[in-house]
Chains A and B, each alone.
Chain A
Amino acid sequence: MDKRCISVILGGMLLRLLLFTAFPSLPTLLGNRVEISTPVTSFKRLQEGLFLYTHGVSPYDGGVYHQAPLLLAFFSMMPSSAMATNLIYIIADIQSTLALIDIARSGWSTKSRLHESKRKEMAWPAWGVAAAFLFNPFTIAACIGRPTVVFTNTVILTAIAKAIQGRPTPATLALALSSYLSLYPCLLLAPLVLLSYDFLLHCHSTTLLPTNFSLSKFATTQVTIYFTAVACLLGLSYLITGNSWEFLASTYGVHLFLPDLTPNVGLWWYFFIEMFDPFREFFLCVFQLHLLIYAPGLTIRLRKQPLFVCITMLGILSIFKSYPSIGDTALYLSLLPLYRHIIPLMRYSFVVTSAILYATLLGPAFYHLWIYAGSGNANFFYAITLVWSLSVTLVVADALFAVLREEWEVEGNGREGKPVVQI
């Protein structure tokens, strides 16, 4: 690791420490924001769950705590001081940065087994990617507000980093942990397996690999490992929560059935507030299936770049999952700099940047008008969530366009920089 990376990490760490110590009320203030904390990630709810858990009341027999049981066990072992908790969150962010640096240094985003970009020299160095993550205001807000989505992000980044380092089993285990923490990362399983497979084929000479090494065998092994790991984690949770499965309905059931309609930056809450009762189940199914459908499409079309499939899936999840927060968007936006070289090919960069800034600034204002000032109604905040979702959608779609176009440019000569159409 070079000096620049280390100084970026140190800078990010100091900034966070400074924010935690200089503004002691900031974590509570940010943690109370609906854009940062959702019912399934809120730190205050985690504290309530911990309190109930340490006092012998099952936190899953109630409507407040919807997070994974292992978090309870983890935090009940940690010292309960605020500083210790803050340090845990800072360490999680640093671990994420380290994983990102690993991903960036491998250069897998520009040159992989099946694809080699012609714009390689434009890619950002590792320290740049790390800085884009550590000094992203969304990432900082998510770290200071202390939602548990920070841990999910760390685990996802670790999974990707391990896959690129040619260690498929740790990658799959990390992915299993992230799915255990917040369900939706399970959609990354297919691209992650492909990513590990590509790397193994590319970097190890055929002699090192078993003679009958094939994708189907490799995938079967990894999927088995994944499900075994998830089962083990669930079994462990079963033991932690006093031999009861009720945590399943209270954690994953909440992700799936949306009983808590607290506002967030996503599209679900207002839709299901206003939904007519007979159609509620139908639209729940439609919304969940809608998320599911992107995974195979992207994986097949972008077979050459599974890393970008992972990133795009994270972007789509940050818009369309049931309880999204800006922590999810922060993860997507900090993975995009890995693809710095395709940014010139994006068509709506200016519009998208303006729209994201617009939603970021107006969101809290409109929420205040609705909830505190009483001079606006729910539609104000709803409109801003629509703008936010649309703008992130545009980023996702535009980046996807740029990557596909770049792939197409690589496939033939004389295509660079010329106007194209899709037919």
Chain B
Amino acid sequence: MVKSRYFYCLFLMNSLINIINFVPRELMDRRFDGALMSILIAVPIGTTFVYVFTKLMDKFPGKGIPEIFNSLMPRLVSTPMLLVYAVLWYVAGVITLLSFVDITLRFISPDTGAYPVVIGFLILVCLCCRVDGLSLLYGLEVILGITLPLILYASVKALANPNFSWDSVLQIVTFIWHKPDIKSMAAGTFLFSGYINLAIFNRLFHKIKLRHVWLIAVEGLLVLLMTFLVPIGYFGTIGVERHVYTWFSTADSIRIETFLIERMLFIFYFAYMTLSVMSVIVHWHVGLELFKSIMPFADKNSSKAKLWKEWIILGLFCVATLLLMFMDQYELNQLAEWFLQIRWLGEMSMIATLFYCVIKMRKARRRNP
């Protein structure tokens, strides 16, 4: 059984990856219209979700969402629900992937075509997301161990810059008394939604000891504030909306005086490349497991059939990704915005359904103890 700290890894991964998933964009667009208040509200909401969901999943030790839903609800209800969730998880991965392909093309290798880059990423992700969950968690831990110091370094360096305009940041802070905005809240809660991967990874956990919930809230708040305010310190309250890749431009503005390379961009890119590939792998792993659970011939258990099943699903994933490549920067942004809102609804409905399942299970136990 896996230690509880891997749960924190899943949480941390999502909270750091928000930069790639257009969360800063959402917040920036509403910086004068209640983004800061939304952040302050998103933190307790997100933390509550984390707490409630883990408590609920604790009632089903060693079971994933498919097993719980299929055993406690009629197939006719559980199958479409699982399908929706599977698609959501797939979209979560695909947005990270496409966004990152975009960033790679802009900043690192403008001369390479888009398709070689995306195919390279797809091969890596598809090969890795078939790996069993336990290995993925171990891998995630190692990758966080590598990237976290780099990200911390970049953050410290960003704030220590004498050219960082604290006045611009404070100017945005004075816009705090504005009524919160639902879209920004949806974006803000994305940082906390790493817990939802427990839907599949709960198969590995038996008893999650959720200690220091306040730590989750504090970390979430700090990362959200960094995400939102640091680019403003670099590009000003007005200029910031003109930057498309807000955080990568910010990293590009940080100069390292005493190192082999002068530009923070490359360190930042390396850290986020590893982290975002890992996050796509985790999301698609969950998506894959969910799809597998609703495939009609799920009963056939020969290893060959299993293998084929997985590759058919992954093949579909890849084809859909390649088809989604037609989107331009604004369309991808739009898709990400929709995703951020729909996934919030999805989380709520999953928690509600789990509540229902817990009640039903208790009733069943009482009837035949």
- Whether A and B are associated in the same complex: the answer reads no
Chain A interface (Cβ < 8 Å from any Cβ of B):
none
Question: Could you tell me which B residues sit within 8 Å of A by CB distance?
Answer: none
